[in-house]
Amino acid sequence: MSLASKVRAWTSHQSSSAAYVDPACVYSPMRGRVVPLAELADGVFSEEMLGKGCGLWPSDETVVAPFDGQVTAIAKTGHAIGVTSRNGIEVLIHIGLDTVEMAGAGFRVKVRVGDQVTLGQTLMTFSRSKIEDAGYQLASAVVVTNSDEYETVDVLVNGQTARGQAIIGVAPPPAPQQSHA
C-alpha cells in the first residue's frame, strides 16, 4: 500500500478533532480546491522546477502554517512564504501566479523569518479581489522544495480541502543496507 493510500485510509477514519499530526504530511495552508501542479499556468510550478506538490485555488484569504516548524523565507513582496518542518520538509507556499508583479499590494505577512510556527497558525492574509482586479490568477502552489530528498512526494487530495487537512505525504528514502561481510 502506498503512503498516499495509508494516509487516506487513516484520515478517513479520524474525527475532525483528532489530535494526531503525521510528521510525514503537509497540511493544507488554505481552504480551497486542490489541483495537480501541471494545471497551473506557470512552467516553474507545472514542470515541477521547484519541487513536487499541488496547486490550490483558495476560497478564502488566510494562509496558515502547514505543520509545526520555522519560517525560512518570505518574499519581499509578501506573496510567498517558505516554511521548514521540524523533521526537515521544506515547503513553499506561493499565492497566485505572477503576483510578484503586485509589489506587495494585497498581501499582509504576519510572521518573520526565523519565527517558530505551529500547525494552523496564521502566516499571512491576502486580498482575493486585489489579485483578481490586478489581472492575476488566484491559483496558488504548495511545493515541497526538497522533494529530491524523499522517495515519494504524494498529493493526497484532489478537489476541495479544508485548512489543516493532510494534502501532501512524503516518504524518506529507504535506509542504506548494511553489508554483513
User: Model confidence over 108-137: pLDDT tens digits?
Assistant: 999 999 999 999 999 999 999 999 999 999
- Exposed e or buried b for every residue in 39-53, given b needs 16+ CB within 10 A? ebebeebeebebbbb
94 is catalytic: yes
Catalytic one among 13, 79, 94, 180? 94
pLDDT of residue 71: 98
For the chain, give the percent of residues with pLDDT over 70: 86
Residue 8 has pLDDT above 90, yes or no: no
- Domain boundaries in the chain? 33-171
CATH architecture of 33-171: Distorted Sandwich (2.70)
Residue 181 binned pLDDT confidence (cut-offs 50, 70, 90): low
By the 8 A CB rule, do 83 and 66 touch?
yes
Residue 29 binned pLDDT confidence (cut-offs 50, 70, 90): very high
Average pLDDT over residues 68-82: 97
pLDDT of residue 90: 97
Q: Which residue has the cell 509578501?
A: 78
pLDDT of residue 137: 94
pLDDT of residue 105: 95
By the 8 A CB rule, do 121 and 106 touch?
no
For the chain, give the percent of residues with pLDDT over 90: 77
